[in-house]
Structure 1
Amino acid sequence: MAHGTLHREGKAAEIVIGGHSYVGTWAYVQGGSFSVSTLGGAGGFATGGSTTESATGEGNIIASSRDAGNLRCAFNYSRSSNSGTGLCRLDDGSLYDLQLAAQ
Structure 2
Amino acid sequence: MNVWIAVALTAVGCYAVKLAGLLVPVGALERPLVKRTAALLPVALLAALTAQQAFGKGQSLVLDAKAAGLAAATVALLLRAPFLVVIAVAVAVTAGARALTG
- Give your verdict on TM over 0.5: no
TM-score where L is the length of structure 2: 0.23
Q: Select the structure that is richer in strand.
A: 1
Higher helix proportion: 2
Compare CA radii of gyration and give the structure with the larger one: 2
Higher relative contact order (CA 8 A, sep 6+): 1
